[in-house]
Chain A
Amino acid sequence: MSLFSSDHKAVARRYLWSGLGFLLLGGLLALLIRWQWAYPGQPVPGLAWALPESRGALTPPAYTAVFTMHGLIMIFFAVTPLLFGALGHFVLPLSIGARGLAFPRLSVVGFWLYALGGALVLGSFAVRLGPASAGWTSYPPLSTPAFTPGLGQTLVTVAVLCAGASAFLYGLNFIVTVVRCRAPGMTWGRLSLTVWGLFFASVLNVLFVPVLAAATALLLMDRLLGTQFFIAGAAAVGGGGDPVVYQHLFWLFGHPEVYILILPAWGMVGDFVAFFSRKPAHGYRLTAGAMGTVTALSGLVYAHHLFTSGMSPLLGRTFMVLTLLISLPAEVMYLNWLMTLWRGSVRLTSPMLAALSTMIVFGLGGITGLSLGAVATDVPLHGTLWVVGHFHLTMGAASFLAVFAGLYFWFPKMFGRALHEGLAKAHVLSSAVLFLGVFGGQLAAGYAGQLRRLYDPYQYTYLKHLLPLNQWTSACAFLLGAAQVLFIVNLVWTLARGRAVGANPWKVGTLEWTCAPSPPPAWNYDPVPEVLRGPHALSQPEVLAQLGRDWMGQAEPMPDAAETEPGPVDAEEPGRVSTSGGAA
């Protein structure tokens, strides 16, 4: 298994290990931020080696670098690679019955571009003046050399370009794979919701990552060649440019990026609630359609990030309406998940617990975002920890829990070994509860007015009384960090001596579980399965009657009806097993 193998499962494993590594790094940086807000300016235990002058205490420059790198690493090097690089690469071809990705060599190139970006990120910590420190958004003019001269800022900007290029490549790869490489019979209406989520997110990737690339390319030229695209004010030469152009371009990418991070999560939740309610997903087409609607709208709402930038009232009103509009498809999808649980037979396995936790944190995150979508109510909350809590609940906690839902679900297929269910459940539950503590605390502090990115919020008299709240929030964060040990122990122990599992431990019908062993061989399927029904053919009466089980493989033919006595078929919907929709 060489490092350049182009088997999609090998590429997925590479993304998995590097993504988990960066998740750890990004998480540790987050804990540093939390330490600073709980014990401002006090030495961080065990950090004296990195910051000898301050004996381990964060200095303002170190702090700005820490929160900047936390955001960049989490978004570009941890969560996206875990969702797409690891789970997407592994699941997508298997789930549609393909023998691999459409462009296997491209996926290798994509991984190594990502790895190059990761190396630049790590290297930036070692250069003079440290890594990037202009915030994850890298707003100019702050991110131009006049105000952030260090080499680290340049390296990280290039690293973001690398990560973007890799995201563009796997986005394209996924789209073409879904369009061209589906197994016979795998109609669009029979794709799993996970594939739908990955597909829509890939569409967003290929459309909006180029926008980020353009903004970053112009910024990079401003940094390196002395162009004046985004430089204004005292530092400008020859009339100067306009930093607001960057803000528009950045958020034209930045808002879809939020959906890039959540669409695969939505897809997995949709599938897992169906699988573990032992019941077809409620309103499969509605759910897929709602995800598509969100995808279509997501490029049209970005300027809610600029409500306080002095934009024209016409633009402000337009974006306010469009932003609020996006909550409609989200509500449809959420209600469908709830309806899927209803009248099901709920099994609280570890992936199900993670999916339900995702639903809870995503629900809270979505609802707390409403007040940010309207201009008037955005004003008091803009730039506060309310915003931070809101988007961490959606693209932080929800995406994180969805990653682990997916990992706990597909781990047996990936490695042929079952993780320890008890440890997995403990990890999911403790993480979910602590996420609510951390980001709930941030919402509260933000509501009381605490602004983001303050090295010492207590410089402000009106924020002084929030210190105990922040300490409480930080305690939750440290516990959250500690809770991840449960996962690491589980992972190491399982890989070393975990119980081997069969092909279909979860007893569900999708192709990867019913047509391939765990782990699947190099070309996945031989022969390629002929798909007969949808991904959620669960608790079908005919199957129960004839086979005595509540699941049916997507490519599994019904035994000849003449052989067995047909059971009592639901009079209303006879033989619905093999038509369309969630069940079929």
Chain B
Amino acid sequence: MKVLPAGSSSGALFASVPPSSPPPAHVPAVAPGTSTTDTPRDALVPAVAPGTSTTDAPRDALVPAVAPGTSTTDAPRDALVPAVAPGTSTTDTPRDALTLSLPEDASTHGHRIDELLASSHRFDAVLIAVALGWLVLAVWRFHQAKQAASDGGTRRSRAWVLGLALGAFAVVDGSLLLGSEGYLRDVLWNFHVPAEDPRTVRIEINAHQWSWEARYAGADGRFGTPDDVVTWNDLRVPVGAPVWVQLVSTDVVHGFSLPHFRVKLDAIPGRVNQTWFQAAREGAWEAACYQHCGTSHYRMRGVLTAMSPESYATWLREAGKQATQAYDAEDLAAHWGWEWKAP
């Protein structure tokens, strides 16, 4: 199952990618703000709609992918551009579209999941080979055999069955369980890391039908204040620092996923869920909704841009200034932020 039959190559799909792009067969990095890959590279800069304030952003944005209205705007253009153009930042080997492989891993810790999956799949392959091989061999060897055994197994053969099952279970499930537990202990459920790291970036995300609204604390480091930076379908994080996400939904159950960061978490109205991750390198990737949330579920797409810590800081500073100027105390709908919840 590792390699799918060739013959339906998808290379042509990506023929429109500029030739400067090193991996010609596959563009792992996302074109932020657009859903087409044939836009010129310059247009891939997160689209900034100058002058739009938070409240102007479409609350019911049916077309979230287009023009993520960052609330913050006149910030120097270069501060908004990820230092490295998306697509070129990724140094992983080009992958054939039909290779069975996970989305490219852009996070610091995701490789542990990937390795666990890979090792688990090796065991799975052995199990499949044994089970199906045995089946085929038995059918082939004993097809229409002259004589069949008359017993339902002996004590010994039944003990073998139990022993084999126990052995396979111990090895396959045991390694999976231990590997998973290690990841949970060190990463997924270990909030000491983001809590203790001074560089940690905290983001509050509010899921809507059908867009992602993200809130940054701004310069004062507190949520729910006028300098909060709010973006739509446009997440920005610095490279190399833990990113701590707290997540809610205003309407229905959504699923916040960053496929390239091995992040998945339900956004459920009425409760705050949290997770954390860390970007390993600069670039832009997609955020996707994975829980059916209505007719436009499929358009609930956002873009995450991992930037150098310096450009991130510049962006946040400028965006915070903008937000303070544009702050509207009357606009209650825009004040959904909450006091950061301790783990």
Q: Do chains A and B make direct contact within the complex (CB under 8 angstroms)?
A: yes
Q: Which residues of A contact B (CB under 8 A)?
A: 60-61, 64, 133-135, 139, 141-142, 146-147, 232-236, 240-244, 277-284, 286, 308-310, 313, 316-317, 320-321, 324-325, 327-328, 331-332, 334-336, 338-339, 341-348, 356, 359-360, 363-364, 367-368, 370-371, 373-377, 379-380, 382-384, 440-441, 443-444, 447-449, 451-457, 459-462, 464-469, 471-472, 536, 538-541, 550, 570, 573, 576, 581-583
Q: Which residues of B contact A327 (CB under 8 A)?
A: 169, 172-173
Closest beta carbon of chain A to B174's beta carbon, Å: 8
B213 CB within 8 Å of chain A? no
Closest beta carbon of chain B to A182's beta carbon, Å: 21
Assess the A384–B290 pair: CB atoms within 8 A.
yes
Assess the A142–B253 pair: CB atoms within 8 A.
yes
- What are 25 residue pairs bridging A and B, where the CB atoms are less than 8 Å apart in the complex? A141-B269, A232-B269, A243-B270, A277-B142, A282-B152, A283-B152, A313-B184, A313-B189, A328-B173, A344-B142, A363-B128, A370-B176, A376-B184, A377-B116, A380-B259, A447-B100, A448-B103, A449-B103, A459-B35, A461-B35, A461-B286, A468-B8, A468-B13, A469-B4, A469-B97
Q: A331-B168, A449-B259 are in contact. Are A374 and B148 (CB under 8 A)?
A: no
A147 and B162 alpha carbons, distance in the complex (Å): 51
Q: A335-B164, A376-B188, A465-B26 are in contact. Are A308 and B298 (CB under 8 A)?
A: no
Assess the B131–A451 pair: CB atoms within 8 A.
no
Assess the A235–B251 pair: CB atoms within 8 A.
yes
Closest beta carbon of chain B to A437's beta carbon, Å: 10
Q: Which bracket fits the contact residues of B?
A: 35 or more
**Most central of B144, B150, B253, B297 by chain A CB within 10 Å:** B150
Q: Which residues of A contact B264 (CB under 8 A)?
A: 308, 379-380, 382-383
Q: Which residues of B contact A325 (CB under 8 A)?
A: 173
Which residue from A232, A443, A462, A539 sits with its C-beta under 8 Å from B147? A539
Assess the B165–A468 pair: CB atoms within 8 A.
no
B1 CB within 8 Å of chain A? yes
Closest beta carbon of chain B to A298's beta carbon, Å: 17
A563 and B98 alpha carbons, distance in the complex (Å): 70
Closest beta carbon of chain A to B152's beta carbon, Å: 4
B321 CB within 8 Å of chain A? no
Within 8 A of A (CB), among B57-106: 65, 97-98, 100-104
Assess the B262–A379 pair: CB atoms within 8 A.
yes
A334 and B135 alpha carbons, distance in the complex (Å): 10
A202 and B80 alpha carbons, distance in the complex (Å): 61
Q: A359-B135, A471-B8 are in contact. Are A60 and B113 (CB under 8 A)?
A: no
Query: What residue in chain A is nearest B165 (Cβ atoms)?
Result: A331
Assess the B4–A444 pair: CB atoms within 8 A.
yes
Closest beta carbon of chain B to A545's beta carbon, Å: 11
Assess the A550–B8 pair: CB atoms within 8 A.
no
Q: A284-B152, A308-B266, A462-B30 are in contact. Are A451 and B184 (CB under 8 A)?
A: no
B28 CB within 8 Å of chain A? yes
B193 CB within 8 Å of chain A? no
Closest beta carbon of chain B to A64's beta carbon, Å: 6
Assess the A459–B298 pair: CB atoms within 8 A.
yes
Q: Which residues of A contact B104 (CB under 8 A)?
A: 462
A141 and B252 alpha carbons, distance in the complex (Å): 5
Which residue from B35, B139, B173, B268 sits with its C-beta under 8 Å from A310? B268
Assess the B148–A141 pair: CB atoms within 8 A.
no
Chain B window 262-282, contacts with chain A (Cβ cutoff 8 Å), 1 for yes, 0 for no: 111110111101100000000
Assess the B146–A345 pair: CB atoms within 8 A.
yes
Q: Which residues of A contact B146 (CB under 8 A)?
A: 345
A321 and B181 alpha carbons, distance in the complex (Å): 10
13 additional A-B residue pairs with CB within 8 Å, beyond A64-B292, A461-B286: A142-B253, A317-B181, A328-B169, A363-B132, A376-B188, A380-B114, A447-B100, A448-B100, A459-B301, A465-B14, A469-B97, A472-B4, A583-B151
Which residue from A142, A342, A380 sits with its C-beta under 8 Å from B102? A380
A582 and B65 alpha carbons, distance in the complex (Å): 62
B200 CB within 8 Å of chain A? no
Assess the A453–B297 pair: CB atoms within 8 A.
yes
A393 and B132 alpha carbons, distance in the complex (Å): 15
Q: Which residues of A contact B142 (CB under 8 A)?
A: 277, 341-346
B305 CB within 8 Å of chain A? no
Q: Which residues of A contact B188 (CB under 8 A)?
A: 375-376, 379
Assess the B172–A468 pair: CB atoms within 8 A.
no
Q: A233-B250, A281-B152, A345-B142 are in contact. Are A370 and B291 (CB under 8 A)?
A: no
Closest beta carbon of chain A to B159's beta carbon, Å: 10
**Most central of B271, B288, B301 by chain A CB within 10 Å:** B288
Query: What residue in chain B is nearest A472 (Cβ atoms)?
Result: B8
Query: What residue in chain A is nearest B37 (Cβ atoms)?
Result: A461
Assess the A455–B297 pair: CB atoms within 8 A.
yes
Q: Which residues of B contact A (CB under 8 A)?
A: 1, 4-5, 8-10, 13-14, 26-28, 30-31, 35, 37, 65, 97-98, 100-104, 110, 112-114, 116-117, 120-121, 124, 127-128, 131-132, 134-135, 138-139, 142-153, 157-158, 161-162, 164-166, 168-169, 172-173, 176-177, 179-181, 183-184, 188-189, 209, 248-253, 255, 257, 259-260, 262-266, 268-271, 273-274, 285-286, 288-299, 301
Summed over the interface, the residue pairs from A and B with CB atoms below 8 Å come to a total of 338
Assess the A328–B184 pair: CB atoms within 8 A.
no
Which residue from B1, B262, B268 sits with its C-beta under 8 Å from A380? B262
Assess the B298–A375 pair: CB atoms within 8 A.
no
Q: A64-B294, A452-B290 are in contact. Are A581 and B268 (CB under 8 A)?
A: no
Assess the B13–A465 pair: CB atoms within 8 A.
yes
Assess the A460–B250 pair: CB atoms within 8 A.
no
Q: Which residues of A contact B26 (CB under 8 A)?
A: 465
Which residue from B148, B166, B292, B294 sits with its C-beta under 8 Å from A452? B292
A316 and B183 alpha carbons, distance in the complex (Å): 13
A-B complex: 4 closest residue pairs judged by Cβ atoms: A233-B269, A232-B270, A310-B273, A383-B290
Q: A280-B151, A313-B189 are in contact. Are A347 and B271 (CB under 8 A)?
A: no
Which residue from A61, A64, A233, A346 sits with its C-beta under 8 Å from B251? A233
Query: What residue in chain B is nearest A141 (Cβ atoms)?
Result: B252
Assess the A454–B9 pair: CB atoms within 8 A.
no
Which residue from B13, B150, B269 sits with its C-beta under 8 Å from A541? B150
Q: Which residues of A contact B250 (CB under 8 A)?
A: 233-234
Assess the A356–B266 pair: CB atoms within 8 A.
no
Assess the B292–A335 pair: CB atoms within 8 A.
no
Query: What residue in chain B is nearest A580 (Cβ atoms)?
Result: B152
Assess the B102–A448 pair: CB atoms within 8 A.
yes
**Most central of A60, A375, A462 by chain B CB within 10 Å:** A462
Assess the B269–A538 pair: CB atoms within 8 A.
no
Assess the B290–A451 pair: CB atoms within 8 A.
yes
Q: Which residues of A contact B259 (CB under 8 A)?
A: 380, 449, 462
Closest beta carbon of chain B to A376's beta carbon, Å: 4
Query: What residue in chain B is nearest A380 (Cβ atoms)?
Result: B262
Q: A367-B128, A465-B97 are in contact. Are A242 and B270 (CB under 8 A)?
A: yes
Assess the A377–B117 pair: CB atoms within 8 A.
yes
**Most central of A240, A373, A451 by chain B CB within 10 Å:** A451
Which residue from B27, B97, B263, B268 sits with its C-beta under 8 Å from A232? B268
Q: A234-B269, A331-B169, A570-B150 are in contact. Are A142 and B132 (CB under 8 A)?
A: no
Closest beta carbon of chain B to A548's beta carbon, Å: 14
Assess the A454–B265 pair: CB atoms within 8 A.
no
**Most central of B145, B180, B273 by chain A CB within 10 Å:** B180
Query: What residue in chain A is nearest B96 (Cβ atoms)?
Result: A465
Q: A376-B116, A462-B286 are in contact. Are A280 and B152 (CB under 8 A)?
A: yes
Assess the B139–A348 pair: CB atoms within 8 A.
yes
A233 and B158 alpha carbons, distance in the complex (Å): 56
Assess the B128–A374 pair: CB atoms within 8 A.
no
Q: Which residues of A contact B1 (CB under 8 A)?
A: 440, 443-444
A364 and B252 alpha carbons, distance in the complex (Å): 34
Q: Which residues of A contact B5 (CB under 8 A)?
A: 472
Q: A342-B138, A374-B180 are in contact. Are A234 and B255 (CB under 8 A)?
A: no
A443 and B4 alpha carbons, distance in the complex (Å): 11
Q: Which residues of B contact A383 (CB under 8 A)?
A: 255, 257, 264, 290-291
